[in-house]
Structure 1
Amino acid sequence: MKSSRFYTLLQYFKEDVISEKEWHELQTMIKTGCFDQLLEDDLLISLAGKGKQEKWTADIEQEILAGIHAQISEHSNRSGYKLWIAVAAVFLLMSTAGIIFFKSKDPLPAKINTLSHKYDIPPGGNRALLTLPGGEPIVLNDSSIRQLKNQTGGSIVKAGNGILVYKANALAGQAGKEMFNTISTPRGGQYQVILPDGTHVWLNAASSLRFPAAFKGEKRLVKLNGEAYFEVAKNKRMPFIVQTENQEVEVLGTHFNISSYADETATKTTLLEGSVKVTAQAGQKVLSPGEQALTNKDTRVIKVMPVSIEDAIAWKNGYFVFNDEKLESIMHRVSRWYDVEYHFEGKQGDLSFLGVVERSKNISSLLKVLASTGNVHFKIEGRKIIVMP
């Protein structure tokens, strides 16, 4: 339980919503040295998420851990819990700095120009709707931090950088009627939520997550529609379970991605770290890091295969990655993020693409990359994309 509490406080700290009392609690835990492994793991995860883990060395690791301990000791007797500059530099800069580079044998030509379009469409952004247990909707966007609601077992705090933080209190887990919140993103939206147990979830466009105001009983159960990346807080006594339309994923504490859109033929579960058990009507499979389970929505049969982790979570890191991907599949993903319709005009060849495009760019930038092959052309008409040979 102490490890779970440490991880939860660490998430509050990284999102800058930690209270003074919680900051002193975290200081005390770090000073014991008992949580160095968790601290190290969190640093490595931040690096891996930005494609920088290969530059990590044992010397750097020891320097950072020593620096954190030194800063904690130096400032432990001073007033003001925001004397954490060195620690913040480690967590916040490492989690936001750097660019992911993906390798490909045959990348698209880099012939992106700056020609303006008569019509253009901006990318999606941090937009979501939070529905409270009583059905009250709250619109979430990029506004500043503020407390939204107090509920039995905790309060909801909205962080201004597209993150909803649910902070449990002393009443969390006590007996009583279970209440559920639902956070949903529209087409062209994305959002993050830190659940009451400290689990961090990234929601992709056109997705929803239903979760309790406080986790009670023997398991932590959430329900997902669409796509989400999970960094689950460890708690061996209370497994974390994600239910989708056609499968169930059970974990104790790990990092994984689930894509379960209603308009796709299979649910994809990709494991980055730890171990997960995927269960469907036709059986179950246990995944190892770097593996993906494909659960057919008609037969409920699970197939497991090795995949690129970077490709699977590229959306979460702000990129579209096309790895020998068919044009129809690409346009389907593009339409979801930019909230557009698309239409194929004329006979299209069997086209596949390799390349990387930032999700933060206007749609014209992405279409120019695809069109630079000379095999396909595009026309923007309002919020409709015409795909031409």
Structure 2
Amino acid sequence: MKYTTRQQAILLLADGTIFYGKSIGISGKTFGEVCFNTGMTGYQEIFTDPSYFGQIMVATNPHIGNYGVNAEEVEADKIMISGLVCKNFSFNHSRPNSESNLYDYFESQNLICISDVDTRALVSYIRDNGAQNAVICTDGTPIEELKVLLSNVPNMEGLELASKVSTTAPFFFGNENATYKISALDLGIKRNILRNLAIRDCYIKVFPYDTNFETLKSFNPDGYFLSNGPGDPDPLIEVQSVAREMIASDKPVFGICLGHQILALANGVSTYKMFNGHRGINHPVMNVLTGKGEITSQNHGFAVNREQLEKHPDLEITHYHINDNTVAGMRMKSKNCFSVQYHPEASPGPHDSQYLFDDFIANIKNRVALQKAF
């Protein structure tokens, strides 16, 4: 291993602020929007979540890598974050069922990481000054040169990234003899979302992000799913059009995270970039329909305009974030369509909201039963 070489490294923010640390031994530089996740576990799922594509992750948990990695604990086939910032990087791991250490995992995919950073100070700075682009440099490139390179990195607002993480060809997931069929539009879908649908007796065909509605319809699905994913939802004009056709089909529609935002845009409700997003596994949400609170796993930097949604004649808020009152869920009054801004599959995270998958299947069952009655 090369981790015995601990050269000085830096994290340079777009506003010129510099945080110092050490390289874990992988030389280079990487760019992205810096953000932080407050989860105390599940780092491998976070690193492989397509929704984090284009972002440099700051881990607030002071110890990263201590339980190694396992091939079953991924949300995609490769690491999706642009880079990692942490306090203590553990080169050794102690969990019995881990298959490797985190350093070898990072080295195999050339993931740049800076450790020994004052992450408390960094997160406090991001919270006060907002999300911004940054660069991790572990190869000694002069700061002035890094500033020039960083100035050319596009901002997340207005950036379409679903095309960078979506499947390039349709694929199937689950038991082909399952009772229900789902057409899922892959904007950056997490593997555990597919697992949650499959264990509920669904056979899923996953389509590339730019698939037209007629192709989605050709699978003869019982329902449609719009997945999570990275980037700004606003540039995804064609996806919004497909979402409108899904809604018009009268078949059940379910959207998560980016899919939730797409459904809002498809109904004429705008989205906006948040000063700081929600990323962690302890976000409190109020279920308006039941009056009960839920602890949720969240990962998003954009949100739906609440004022516009409340004025929409055919939409209603079903969930809101207790900390800042942002929209966390909505449904249509005239159509079989609902969505949430957070992650009910919660990998990692609490399972308070997994009932949403049951609600989706219940909507499908009810529609199938109604069709058979006629």
Using the size of structure 1 for normalisation, the TM-score is 0.29
Using the size of structure 2 for normalisation, the TM-score is 0.30
